[in-house]
């Protein structure tokens, strides 16, 4: 029931937000997001890590087709629900820094998207999962399309088309699997679409080989994995900062989570056959993203490519099919969410003050804004995976997992850390150090409100870095279950 | 049956209201009539099959459900004719009565049991439409539309009649069940060529009415010229009733494997062609009305999939699929035509750029058109998604995987043209004075648009309300 509450509350709040106009919508929107966070935190405290599948709720959604509104959380879901519930208030707060037209609609869309995201992370029925997958897409399309930059119409159109075509393939895969299942529990339908029935399908290898690609198409576009990534840098750059944070902080985790929950255990033999190919693509993405990031002049674009590179490593970890790799991906999803949102916030703070994101136009911010410098550096070192920070735990486990699968791949993937240091420190050097430019002459430091927004992120950054077990503990059971499904066959 | 009688009587009564000088009573009365008939219609729900006129008409759950859809569509469409009331249109009572009469035709189409009733239904429906297509008498395009629709319609009615005559010659009956028996009777083997030609001619006749390719050529021109209000009626009520009639004909008269061997490939070919022409044609349009016309062709294509994939009984997965799809499609289409009409009336233009900046001037219109475009494109959270989902899964279940793959590819194409109005409304700014001024919308119309959007979302969130009722 708690899960249902987590799902319904944001959408209810989004609808109620229409009674507030403009700036007046800020407080209620933030309040709603904080309530949601409190709910998620309550779920985390009452969660029993030794048990999987808690807070379940089942409703016969479409009885004649055996489709259930089935939601529930295991440790992995809970981690991502927590991440979502934590990041949304921060993203809303960051949006308050800017003046938007139709603010209340903007916040309503963010909250609406939260329902979709939490739905994706908690759905236990294939069609509900697909449904929520698209529910999360529609608001972000409008967020990026209406409030974005100059080229928004063209770029968000590309984004929408890419993702929806990917997810239609996934739907086709689900429909195929659906017709392989047995009758629903109540006997009203000849088939059902429950996650557990998908797990127990035992399809022949030949079938799994192509079903894998149908389902993977949606996740590949969303994460994105090379070569399905071409929508990503443009969309991240053109979207307004809060939408970029939603996309990079939470939405791309939908793809990784999807692989872990809806792909690998459902078609284990297919995964086994394509494992090497996916790993190679992921590693190409790691190197490719990093090399392009080195050449970027636009701060936002640079972070976008760095995100592509980091996601590549998470995909590689998941597809190494080792406990370490998967655990690494779980915790890195959390860490990456925290770091990338922080980085995009700093980029946005700089852009708001100077009116430019061009690295060449910036310089000398350290003297003007010491607090901003410290925050930026901490987040940056987290992204570079320095020990004691969250990035270290995640990337270490991920690399260990990939290394366990194949030492060479592990070695090549490890380059990500070096390259990451190169492009991030280069950016830091050009933006924060060096002489002032005409753009940065009147630069002011972070305000108290902005700092208040970054503090929770930085606390979490160190928390994950110093006590990773708080979170690893949560996802361990789920990861073992997933690997069990794979080993069984 | 009650609904047919009520509609005819009240339709006649409605004509007398036209003698009054003022139009103000007409709209509420029209809505009242439709509301009453809609309610009365559902008295027959779950009452079992009732026959009328010596078994020429059968009222069962199938016909009640489809009657419900056409009446509901008419009910939510009527508020968009308010401009006629405000402008003091002289012939409004006649228009409304013609609509009511055409609904009688639609109800006959969904409950016929005898080819004579099929023919009468089609004619009652069409003749009213011929008149209404030309109702904008001073507009050349409207005249063109009426003439085109009438000439083509008359021609295809001839083909339909010819088909029926051949069928009668081959089987000696007009009754659906008796035709079915005669088709399966080996004694008639020598007559089969005549029978099959008759059957094919009937498919062509009905195919024209639902604008299935290659008999679709009239659709874009007629929709463009016809006053938008009536074009919306054409693309919803006529299509819904036409498909129900189509399904009845195939299921009740030609279920025999030998007959299926002929109509199945024909329909499959029509289906593929319709999907292709509808979707690719819509991409190239610059006028929204023409885009909606092509889109209505493409939706005929999706509905044809349900016909191809029907699994033997009238009230099965296919009928449920068609029912859900027509409902979702009608609701979304009425909203789309409604918004296009309001915008076109105010801005005097029907191209995409006429919508520029609508999100700023009229957020409600923009929102409503967005919901309906997403529904027509089949994006989840809207009824259109589950409509496609049910039809496609019925087809997959019966082994038409290739056809579904093609349809899915075509619906990917459709996303392109359904997003264009959304992009124009939300992501482009007004270009001149006319597009920067808000479009006048009455509270009544706002209410109708909100209701339609709510219905679309309701169907998309709780599809169980309608899915599987048959």
Alpha helices in A297-322 (DSSP H): 299-319
Q: Which of A168, A173, A180, A239 to mutate to test the interface with B (most CBs of B within 10 A)?
A: A168
Which residues of chain A lie closer than 8 angstroms to B467, CB-CB? 62, 64-65
| pLDDT in the model for residue A361 | 86
Cβ-contact B332, B375 below 8 angstroms: yes
B419·A157 Cβ contact <8 A = yes
Q: How far is A230 from chain B (nearest CA, A)?
A: 18
Chain B CB within 8 Å of residue A57 CB? no
How many CB atoms lie under 10 A from the CB of residue B195?
Answer: 23
Cβ contact, residue pair A168, B408, below 8 Å? yes
* Cα maximum dimension of chain A: 74
| pLDDT score, position A437 | 81
Chain B CB within 8 Å of residue A313 CB: no
**Cβ pairs bridging A and B (under 8 Å):** 72
CA distance A242 to A95: 6
- Pairing of β A67-73 and β B57-59: unpaired
Would the CB atoms of A168 and B427 count as touching at under 8 Å? no
Chain B hits for A168, Cβ within 8 Å: 408, 411-412
Does the beta carbon of B324 lie under 8 angstroms from any beta carbon of chain A?
A: no
**B298-328 pLDDT tens trace:** 999 999 999 998 877 777 788 889 999 999 9
Q: Which residue, among B383, B410, B464, B468, would best test binding to A if mutated, counting the most A CBs under 10 Å from its CB?
A: B464
pLDDT the model gives residue B318: 84
Residue whose C-alpha is closest to residue B274's, from B216, B191, B354: B216
Q: How far is CA A179 from CA A173, A317, A384, B294, in A?
A: 10, 32, 46, 33
B333: closest CA of chain A, how far (Å): 20
Asked if B379 has any chain A CB less than 8 Å from its own CB, the reply is yes
Token couple for A138: 């529609």
CB of B374 less than 8 A from some CB of A: yes
Task: Let me know how many helices (H) and strands (E) chain A has, helices first.
Answer: 20, 2
Q: How many domains does chain B have?
A: 1
Cβ distance B393 to A153 less than 8 Å, yes or no, reads no
Please answer yes or no on whether A146 and B426 come within 8 Å at the CB atom.
Answer: yes
Mean pLDDT of B322-343: 94
What pLDDT does A149 receive? 82
Tokens for B364?
A: 């409600």
Q: Among A179, A207, A203, A205, which Cα is nearest to A193's?
A: A179
Q: What is the dihedral of CA B377, B378, B384, B388, to 10 degrees?
A: 120
Give backbone dihedrals phi and psi of A224, rounded to 5 degrees, phi first. Answer: -95, 155
CA distance to partner chain A, nearest, from residue B427 (Å):
5
Tell me if B427 and A156 make a contact (CB, 8 A cut-off). yes
Residue pair B210/B300 in contact (Cβ under 8 Å)? The answer is yes
Q: Which of residues 154-183 of A touch B (CB under 8 A)?
A: 156-157, 160-161, 164-165, 168, 172, 175-176, 178-179
Q: DSSP string covering B49-107, please?
A: -EEETTTTEEE-HHHHHHHHHHHHHHHHHGGGGHHHHHHT-TTHHHHHHHHHHHHHHHH
**DSSP at B437:** S
> Could you tell me the sign of the dihedral formed by the alpha carbons of A353, A358, A360, A365, in that order?
positive
Identify the top-confidence range among A14-18, A61-65, B458-462.
Answer: B458-462
- Cβ–Cβ of A146/B381 closer than 8 Å? no
Q: Is B426 close to A179, i.e. CB distance below 8 A?
A: no
Q: Is there a cis peptide before residue A348, judged by omega within 30 degrees of 0?
A: no
Instruction: Summarize the confidence of residues A302-326 as an average pLDDT.
Output: 92
Show the domain range for B120.
Answer: 2-465
pLDDT tens digits for B166-203?
999 888 899 998 998 888 887 777 777 888 899 999 99
How close A160 gets to chain B, by Cα (Å)?
Answer: 9
Model pLDDT for residues A393-447, shown as the tens digit of each residue: 999 999 999 999 989 999 988 888 888 889 999 999 888 888 888 787 778 888 8
Rounded Cα distance, B293 and B211, in Å: 10
List, in sequence order, every residue forming a beta bridge with B52; answer none if it has no partner. B57
Say if residues B292 and B340 touch (Cβ distance below 8 Å): yes
Cis omega (within 30 of 0) for bond into A146: no
Residue among B65, B48, B49 at smallest CA distance from B321? B65
Q: Where are the alpha helices (DSSP H) in B112-251?
A: 115-133, 140-171, 176-184, 192-209, 218-225, 228-233, 239-248
What is the ipTM metric for this complex? Answer: 0.89
A61–B381 C-beta distance less than 8 A: no
- Cα dihedral B196→B197→B199→B200 (10° resolution): 120
Q: Could you tell me which residues come within 8 angstroms of residue B457 by beta carbon, excluding any fewer than 6 positions away? A: B371, B381, B382, B383
Average per-residue pLDDT in chain B?
90
> What letter does residue A59 receive in the DSSP assignment?
E
**Residue A462 pLDDT level (bands cut at 50, 70, 90):** very high
Q: Which of A215-219, A257-261, B156-160, B394-398 has the lowest mean pLDDT?
A: B394-398
CB contact (8 A) between residue A161 and residue B426: no
The minimal CB distance from B393 to the residues A101, A153, A175 is found for A175
Please check whether residue A149 touches B, CB under 8 A. no
| CA A312 from centroid of its chain's CA atoms | 13
- Residue A471: both structure tokens together: 């979170």
| Nearest 10 degrees: Cα torsion A436, A442, A446, A450 | -120
User: What pLDDT does A414 receive?
Assistant: 86
Across the interface, which of B381, B423, B468 has its CB nearest the CB of A157?
A: B423
- Identify the residue whose tokens are 């004649």: A64
Residues of B in contact with A102 (CB under 8 A): 363
- Residues of A in Cβ contact (< 8 Å) with B408: 168, 172
Tokens at residue B89, please?
């249109």
What is the mean predicted confidence (pLDDT) over B251-266?
87
CA A64 – CA B317 distance, rounded (Å): 10
| CB proximity B467 to A under 8 Å | yes
Residue of chain B with shortest Cα separation from A164: B412
| Mean pLDDT across A52-73 | 87
Q: How many CA atoms lie within 13 A of B57 on its CB side?
A: 21
Looking at the complex, report in whole angstroms how far the Cα of residue A202 sits from the nearest Cα belonging to chain B. 20
Distance of residue B69 Cα from the nearest chain A Cα, in angstroms: 20
Q: Write phi, then psi, for B351 (nearest 5 degrees).
A: -90, 170
Q: How far is B86 from chain A (nearest CA, A)?
A: 31
pLDDT at B65 over 70: yes
How far is it, in rounded angstroms, from Cα B139 to Cα B228? 13
Q: Which of A62, A138, A153 sits opposite B464 (nearest CB)?
A: A62
- Which among A64, A138, A142 has the least Cβ separation from residue B381? A138
CA angle A303–A305–A311, rounded 5-degree value: 100
Query: Which of the 8 DSSP states describes residue B384?
Result: H
Say whether pLDDT at A489 is over 70: no
Which residues in chain B touch residue A178, judged by CB atoms under 8 angstroms apart? 393
pTM over cut 0.90? yes
Cβ atoms of residues A297 and A358 within 8 Å = yes
Over its C-alpha atoms, chain A yields an Rg (Å, rounded) of 21
| A46 burial level (CB within 10 Å; 0-12, 13-18, 19+) | exposed
* pLDDT over 70 at A363, yes or no: yes
With 80 as the cut, is the pLDDT of residue A98 above it?
Answer: no
Looking at A48-178, list the stretches that DSSP marks H as alpha helix, in order from N- to C-terminal side.
75-96, 103-122, 126-147, 152-178
What is the C-alpha separation between A470 and A463, in angstroms, rounded?
9
* pLDDT of B53 strictly over 80: yes
For strand B57-59 and strand A54-62, is the pairing parallel, antiparallel, or unpaired?
unpaired
pLDDT > 70? residue A473: yes
A61–B396 C-beta distance less than 8 A? no
Structure token pair of residue A102? 């139709």
As a whole number, the mean pLDDT across chain A is: 89
Query: Smallest Cβ distance to A62: which of B360, B426, B467?
Result: B467
Q: Residue B360: its pLDDT value, please?
A: 86
Answer yes or no: is B470 within a domain.
no
Closest to A75 (Cα-Cα) out of A55, A47, A111, A110 = A47
- As beta bridge partners, residue B427 has none
Locate the chain A residue with the closest alpha carbon to B371: A138
Run of H or E residues at A329 = helix A323-354
Distance CA B121, CA B105 (A): 4
Residue A144: closest C-alpha in chain B: B427
Long-range contacts of B49-53 (CB under 8 A, 24+ apart): B50/B1, B51/B113, B52/B1, B53/B117
Q: Can you tell me the distance from the alpha carbon of A438 to that of B34, in angstroms, rounded to the nearest whole number?
A: 70
For the record, the structure tokens of B340 come out as 């296009």
Mean pLDDT over A39-55 rounds to 84
Most confident of A17-26, A480-489, B300-309: B300-309
Between CA B266 and CA B273 the distance in angstroms is: 11
pLDDT the model gives residue B261: 85
Whether A328 contacts chain B with CB within 8 A: no
Q: What is the largest CA-CA distance in chain B?
A: 74
Q: Measure in Å the smallest separation between the Cα of A50 and chain B Cα atoms.
A: 34
CB within 8 Å: A172 and B390:
no
Containing A477, the helix (H) or strand (E) segment is helix A469-488
Q: How far is A138 from chain B (nearest CA, A)?
A: 9
Structure confidence at residue A182 (pLDDT): 87
Is it the case that residue A359 has pLDDT exceeding 90?
Answer: no
Taking CB atoms and an 8 Å limit, are A160 and B419 in contact across chains? yes
CB < 8 Å to A175, chain B: 392-393, 396
Q: Kindly indicate the confidence band of residue B160, based on its pLDDT and cuts at 50, 70 and 90.
A: very high
CB contact under 8 A, B468 and A64: yes
Q: What are phi and psi of B86, to 5 degrees?
A: -65, -35
Q: Which residue has the higher pLDDT, A320 or B89?
A: A320
Residue A106 at interface with chain B, using a CB cutoff of 8 Å: no
Measure Cα distances from A303 to A87, A245, A345, A384, B233 in Å. 18, 11, 11, 12, 52
Token pair belonging to A446: 């972070």
Q: Which of A146, A334, A311 is nearest to A243 (CA)?
A: A146
């Amino acid at each position: 029931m708690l899960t249902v509450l987590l799902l319904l509350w944001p959408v209810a709040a989004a609808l109620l937000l229409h009674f507030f106009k403009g700036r007046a919508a800020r407080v209620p929107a933030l309040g709603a997001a904080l309530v949601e966070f409190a709910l998620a935190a309550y779920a985390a405290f009452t969660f029993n890590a030794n048990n999987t599948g808690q807070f379940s709720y089942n409703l016969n959604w479409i009885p004649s087709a055996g489709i259930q509104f089935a939601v529930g959380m295991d440790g992995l879901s809970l981690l991502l629900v927590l991440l979502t519930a934590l990041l949304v208030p921060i993203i809303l707060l960051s949006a308050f820094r800017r003046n938007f037209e139709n603010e209340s609609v903007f916040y309503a869309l963010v909250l609406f998207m939260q329902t979709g995201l939490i739905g994706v992370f908690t759905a236990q029925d294939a069609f509900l999962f697909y449904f929520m997958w698209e529910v999360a897409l529609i608001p972000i399309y409008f967020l990026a399309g209406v409030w974005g930059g100059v080229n928004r119409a063209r770029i968000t159109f590309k984004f929408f088309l890419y993702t929806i075509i990917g997810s239609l393939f996934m739907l086709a895969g689900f429909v195929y699997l659906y017709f392989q299942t047995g009758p629903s529990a109540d006997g009203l339908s000849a088939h059902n679409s429950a996650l557990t029935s998908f797990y127990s399908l035992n399809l022949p290898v030949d079938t799994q080989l192509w079903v894998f690609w149908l389902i993977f198409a949606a996740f590949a576009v969303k994460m994105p994995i090379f070569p399905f990534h071409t929508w990503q840098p443009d969309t991240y750059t053109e979207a307004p900062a809060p939408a970029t944070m939603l996309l990079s902080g939470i939405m791309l985790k939908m793809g990784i989570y999807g692989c872990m929950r809806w792909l690998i255990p459902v078609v284990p033999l297919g995964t086994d056959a394509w494992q090497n190919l996916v790993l190679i693509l992921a590693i190409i993405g790691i190197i490719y993203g990093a090399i392009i990031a080195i050449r970027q002049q636009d701060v936002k674009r640079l972070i976008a490519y760095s995100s592509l590179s980091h996601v590549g490593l998470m995909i590689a970890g998941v597809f190494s099919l080792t406990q370490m790799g998967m655990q690494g991906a779980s915790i890195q999803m959390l860490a990456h969410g925290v770091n990338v949102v922080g980085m995009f916030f700093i980029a946005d703070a700089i852009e708001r003050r100077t009116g430019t994101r061009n690295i060449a136009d910036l310089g000398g911010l350290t003297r003007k804004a010491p607090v901003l410098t410290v925050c930026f550096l901490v987040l940056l070192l987290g992204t570079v995976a320095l020990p004691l920070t969250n990035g270290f735990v995640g990337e270490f486990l991920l690399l260990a997992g990939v290394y366990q699968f194949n030492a060479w791949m592990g070695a090549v993937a490890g380059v990500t850390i070096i390259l990451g240091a190169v492009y991030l420190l280069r950016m830091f050097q050009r933006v924060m150090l060096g002489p002032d430019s005409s753009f940065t002459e009147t630069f002011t430091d972070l305000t108290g409100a902005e700092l208040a927004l970054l503090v929770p992120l930085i606390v979490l950054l160190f928390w994950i870095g110093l006590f990773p077990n708080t979170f690893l503990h949560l996802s361990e059971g789920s990861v073992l279950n997933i690997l069990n499904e794979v080993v069984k066959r | 049956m009650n609904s047919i009688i009520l509609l005819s009587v009240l339709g006649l009564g409605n004509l007398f209201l036209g003698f009054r000088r003022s139009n103000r009573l007409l709209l509420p009365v029209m809505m009242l009539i439709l509301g009453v008939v809609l309610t009365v219609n559902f008295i027959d729900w779950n009452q079992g099959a009732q026959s009328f006129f010596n078994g020429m008409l059968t009222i069962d759950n199938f016909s009640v459900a489809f009657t419900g859809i056409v009446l509901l569509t008419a009910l939510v469409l009527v508020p968009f004719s308010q401009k006629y009331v405000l402008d003091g249109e002289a012939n409004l009572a006649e228009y409304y009565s013609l609509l009511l009469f055409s609904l009688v035709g639609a109800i006959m189409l969904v409950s016929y049991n005898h080819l004579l009733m099929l023919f009468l239904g089609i004619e009652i429906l069409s003749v009213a439409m011929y008149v209404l297509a030309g109702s904008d008498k001073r507009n050349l395009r409207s005249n063109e539309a009426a003439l085109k629709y009438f000439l083509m319609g008359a021609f295809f009615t001839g083909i339909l009649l010819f088909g029926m005559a051949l069928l009668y010659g081959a089987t000696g009956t007009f009754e659906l069940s008796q035709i079915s028996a005669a088709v399966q009777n080996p004694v008639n083997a020598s007559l089969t060529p005549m029978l099959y030609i008759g059957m094919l001619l009937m498919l062509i006749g009905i195919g024209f009415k639902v604008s299935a390719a290659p008999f679709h050529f009239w659709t874009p021109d007629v929709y463009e010229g016809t006053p938008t209000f009536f074009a919306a009626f054409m693309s919803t009520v006529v299509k819904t009733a036409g498909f129900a009639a189509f399904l009845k004909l195939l299921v009740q008269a030609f279920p025999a494997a030998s007959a299926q061997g002929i109509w199945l490939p024909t329909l499959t070919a029509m289906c593929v062609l319709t999907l292709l022409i509808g979707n690719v044609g819509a991409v190239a349009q610059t006028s929204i009305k023409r885009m909606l016309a092509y889109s209505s062709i493409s939706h005929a294509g999706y509905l044809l999939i349900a016909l191809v994939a029907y699994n033997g009984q009238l009230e099965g997965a296919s009928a449920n699929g068609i029912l859900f799809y027509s409902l979702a499609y009608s609701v979304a289409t009425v909203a789309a035509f409604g918004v296009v009409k309001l915008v076109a009336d105010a801005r005097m233009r029907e191209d995409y750029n006429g919508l520029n900046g609508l999100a700023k001037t009229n957020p409600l219109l923009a929102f409503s058109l967005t919901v309906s475009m997403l529904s027509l494109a089949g994006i989840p959270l809207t009824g259109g998604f589950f409509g496609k989902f049910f039809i496609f899964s019925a087809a997959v279940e019966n082994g038409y995987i290739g056809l579904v793959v093609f349809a899915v590819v075509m619906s990917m194409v459709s996303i392109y043209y359904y997003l264009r109005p959304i992009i124009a409304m939300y992501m482009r700014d007004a270009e001149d004075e006319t597009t920067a001024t808000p479009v006048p919308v009455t509270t009544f119309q706002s209410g109708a648009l909100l209701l339609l959007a709510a219905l679309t979302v309701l169907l998309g969130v709780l599809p169980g309300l309608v899915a599987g009722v048959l």
